[in-house]
Amino acid sequence: GSGVDDAVVMSLVESLGCFTIDQVRAALKETKGAADRAADWLFSHMDDLDSAIANLEGGNEGNDGQTGGPKVPLEDGDGKYSMVGMVSHIGKNTGSGHYVAHVKHDGKWVIFNDEKVALSENPPMQHAYLYLFQRTDTIGSPNPEY
């Protein structure tokens, strides 16, 4: 066989809905069977999926699931973050309504609602769809390799 669990292949094909069995099988082989990493791999290679799979089949078996490109050392540290933005939805459901963004600027929250921009006294923190964070323990000392 292909070395991947067919039940996982079919589950991903059904749940992701936009990839073929062969594409999912190749991604699972590349990520050593890790379904979450395979889904991430598929979405991150969507622009040229056929070429990415051809490269995998071309003999890159020895790479431990990592994508190519230059290796940049990761910064170490405490990993302290602060929330700097969020996206929230106004409406009954995701099929109708409106999305707005809140961004922290100079210590105050600002709402971006199409063309209207204003201070936000009480941003809806608990209702956000997407939260944006910035790492604070490396501000002012970027890694020169990036």
Long-range contacts of the stretch 133-139 (C-beta < 8 A, 24+): 133/81, 133/82, 133/83, 133/84, 134/81, 134/82, 134/84, 135/79, 135/80, 135/81, 136/80, 136/81, 136/82, 137/77, 137/78, 137/79, 137/80, 138/75, 138/77
Please indicate whether residue 98 is annotated as part of the active site.
yes
Q: State the catalytic residue, choosing from 98, 102, 105, 127.
A: 98
Q: Would you name the residues annotated as active-site residues?
A: 98
